[in-house]
Chains A and B, each alone.
Chain A
Amino acid sequence: MQQKRDVEARIVDLLQDPACADEGLRLLVATYGKRLYWHLRNMVERHEDADDLMQDVLIKVYRNIGQFRRESKLYTWLFRIATNEALQFLKRRKPTDLYEQTVPERPSDGRDMDGTVTLDTLKRGLALLPPKQKMVFHLRYYEQLSYEDIAHITGTSVSGLKASYHHAVKKLRNYLASQNIY
């Protein structure tokens, strides 16, 4: 935990020093790049869109690091910026684009040749969740963030987040059941 805080402090120190800001951004990407990418990818589905948003997020962080007051954790600040960018992107994107171009194809029978349950059906179930539930599920399950941290990132109450998480799991379960998988 202390080591994590040290890395965060080092990243911020570097980014806030104009002479070392480039090095700071590289360290930030090395530390949080993959997590940020998958947070965005999870929300917007397509790699190309997630990649564009990653660029936008990194540039925003690079230019606005002076506004980071170290009162919150760096990664919650990063995830907050990323979340806002993704939500704005989803508002601009037409719902038909979202469904037609990002939801994985439905597998023929939901099962692989050897009878094991295919992942594609679960991916489709995840992709079909409403954006907010999808985001909360990802942050809670995959990022293993506390509800308090997620509340800070999304600006939603803890009770609201718990309800979203519950609905997301329930919808996933029901979707898999409807595909005779679960």
Chain B
Amino acid sequence: MEDKEIKKDLDRLRPLLEAIRRERETQPDDAYFSGLASRALRRAQPAKRVRLWPHAAAAAVLLLVIAGVAHRYRTSSPDPAPHVADAEIINYVESHLSEFSDEDLAVFVSPDDSDEDILDAVDVDDMEVEDILSEETLN
């Protein structure tokens, strides 16, 4: 009973369904299927078939470039507060000693330390230092 009902429905739909089948026979075109296997093979090639040395050389060059950029950044990174002299920073720290924790004070800060070292030691970011110095010390 059920099968007969399906068959009856399908018989009525068949002209349309067959038109869709005919459309599918020509889409996508043959060029698509010709290229399909080649594209899959390019992606599926096992690693052993790939020459390793060009990849290793490229990786080494890339590492050197990254190391060079990192070094350049370290040696030429902008001063976080260029308009503030080191002496002013030291004066500020000395006059606000009570505001620093023991842990902060345990770190020795000398005039020879770079800005970066000082910032690392007191664990504040550039903006905080600049804000503090410009609002409280310089004004």
Contact = CB atoms under 8 A, between A and B. Distances in A.
A62 B10 contact: no
A22 B36 contact: no
A166 B9 CA distance: 10
Interface string A144-172: 00000000000000000010011001101
Q: Which of B10, B16, B21, B23 is most buried by chain A, counting CB atoms within 10 A of its CB? A: B16
Interface in B1-49: 2, 5-6, 9-10, 12-13, 16-17, 19-21, 23-25, 28, 33, 36-37, 39-41, 43-44
Contact of B19 (A119, A142, A170): A119
Contacts of B41: 22, 25, 62
A33 B36 contact: yes
Given A25-B40, A33-B33, A182 B6 contact: no
A29 B36 contact: yes
Contact size range, B: 20 to 34
A84 interface: no
Contact of B44 (A63, A119, A170): A63
The B contact surface, by secondary structure, is helix
Nearest to B36: A29
Contact size range, A: 20 to 34
Nearest to B23: A119
A119 B10 contact: no
A7 to B, nearest CB: 16
A34 interface: yes
A182 B10 contact: no
B28 A62 contact: no
A59 interface: yes
A123 B39 contact: no
Given A29-B36, A33-B36, A37-B28, A59 B9 contact: no
Nearest to B16: A122
Interface in A118-151: 119, 122-123, 126, 141-142
Interface of A: 22, 25-26, 28-30, 33-34, 37-38, 47, 54-55, 58-59, 62-63, 117, 119, 122-123, 126, 141-142, 162, 165-166, 169-170, 172-173, 176, 182
Interface of B: 2, 5-6, 9-10, 12-13, 16-17, 19-21, 23-25, 28, 33, 36-37, 39-41, 43-44
